[in-house]
Amino acid sequence: MEIENREELIYTLGKAAELEHLIICQYLYAAFSLKRTPDEGVPAGLEPVLKRWADQLLEIGVQEMVHLALVQNLLTAIGAGPHLSRPNFPVPPRAFPARIQVSLMPFSEAALRHFAFLERPEGTDMADAEGIAALERSWRYEEIDEDAIGPIVADFNTISHLYRSIEHGITTLAARMGEERLFIGPRDAQANGAHFWFDELVEVTDLASAKDAINTIVEQGEGARGDWREAHFGRLLTILDEFLAVRESNPDFEPAKPILLARVRPLESGEPVPLVTAPFSVRCADLMNAVYEVVLEVLARYFAHSDETPEQLATLAKVAIELMDRVIAPLGRLVTRLPIGSEHPGRTVGPSFELFYSTDYLLPHRAAAWTLMIERLEEVAAFAVSCRRECPPILTNDLALIADRIVEQAARLKAAA
């Protein structure tokens, strides 16, 4: 993958951001799918094991969030805005190269093998999970000349291959243009550990820090330049080994709830997709998606802020983290317990992480942007409170707590404006 100019670098970093974003959803989906209690069919003694698997998948998902933030820092450093948009699930088959297929899968042997395949270090000889066939070939415009002004769709076999190419491109451009001309973004727009509590979140201001950011992504994910046993690749293989051992002694045990990836609205393409029809399930699925979109909107403002004070930037980071940790996570566990509808008896909702609206429509002016963020979060909070009226008694306390937390974050954002 040859990156010849700044626009190609921005384009390729945008694809990396989309990929990290989709992979986050992939791990969250698998973690939310895991059963937790005996009434869900967990055999005696296995509750701590399933909790550990869920926690490990969520930890990997959090590290992928750090990777997504590092990609935003790289984009900011070279003068571009944040890239937090992505395709909706199911991901169009040619959104990425042939060997990179991202799917929402409940926890299973196939899911773990597929996740490990995606995270594998370059040169590792392993097959994808059975039933997940790569496309025959990537989508390429082979007839376009190399000196064309538009982007040439590039191929990459692994995630580490993608980042190695990005690193090579940044190094080449820095040598040709000079670091001062390449790294032109404002330093105060960089995410750092002070706001997001992750020491790995380095500010990208020059070639050395850009390479540090890429090294963090590659080493945590694939272990290509470190010990792969401690990277996501190795941790996934460890979970797989543990799961196979548990299944050997409990052949009939199914670790995941009977979730099915389903959407609230039909696909724009017209392709058939399971739809959630149970009324309360529709409302909760919509609520989860709406909160998720607010998180992206708040993060987009953080990375593309104008004259926010340090306290306001800290508030944006705090609200995003609190909504992810204390609202989206419990909502994910809640919706996977809800029925899809009569058309799919016995199946529960697999969260689709469906994006209704664009997250990059905020004006650069602070007052207007904050007004829109507060307005939307207050709307979501009111919707969450209204959902209580239809909530089954067994879930009332869980939903009430979730609604209270959304109201709390709306008030936090409003107080900081």
Domain edge (last residue) among 215, 242, 257: 257
CATH code, 6: 1.20.1260.10
Contact status, residue 160 vs residue 19, Cβ threshold 8 Å: no
Q: 240 and 263 share a domain?
A: no
- Kindly state whether residues 214 and 299 are assigned to the same domain: no
Consecutive 10-residue averages of pLDDT for the chain (417 residues): 88 93 96 93 90 95 93 95 89 72 92 90 70 50 55 69 92 96 91 83 95 90 63 90 93 93 87 92 95 94 90 95 95 96 96 81 84 95 92 92 96 96
Q: What residue type is assigned to position 314 of the chain?
A: A
Same domain, 48 and 168: yes
Q: Do 133 and 268 share a structural domain?
A: no
Are both 196 and 47 inside the same structural domain? yes
Question: Within 10 Å of residue 396's Cβ, how many Cβ atoms?
Answer: 11
281 and 300 assigned to the same domain: yes
Q: How many domains does the chain have?
A: 2
Within this chain, do residues 391 and 244 fall inside the same structural domain, yes or no? no
pTM for the model: 0.91
Phi-psi region of 41 (alpha: psi -120 to 50; beta: other; left: phi over 0): left
pLDDT digits (tens, 9 = 90+) for 46-73: 999 999 999 999 999 999 999 999 999 9
Q: Which of 230, 257, 284 is the last residue of a domain?
A: 257
Q: Which amino acid is at 211?
A: K
Residue that terminates a domain, selected from 257, 283, 302: 257
* Same domain as 393, residue 369: yes
Is the same domain home to 282 and 205?
no
Q: Are residues 200 and 264 in the same domain?
A: no
On whether the CB atoms of residues 57 and 30 are closer than 8 A, the answer is yes
In this structure, the chain runs to a length of: 417
Q: Which residues span the domain enclosing 266?
A: 258-417
Residue indicated by tokens 């196979």:
244
* CATH code of 262's domain: 1.20.1260
For 170-228, give the DSSP string: HHHHHHHH-HHHH--S-GGGS--HHHH--TT-----SHHHHHHHHHHHHHHHT-TTS-T
pLDDT tens figures, 351-396:
999 887 766 677 788 999 999 999 999 999 999 999 988 899 999 9
Same domain, 101 and 5: yes
Asked whether 243 and 255 are in contact (CB, 8 A), the reply is yes
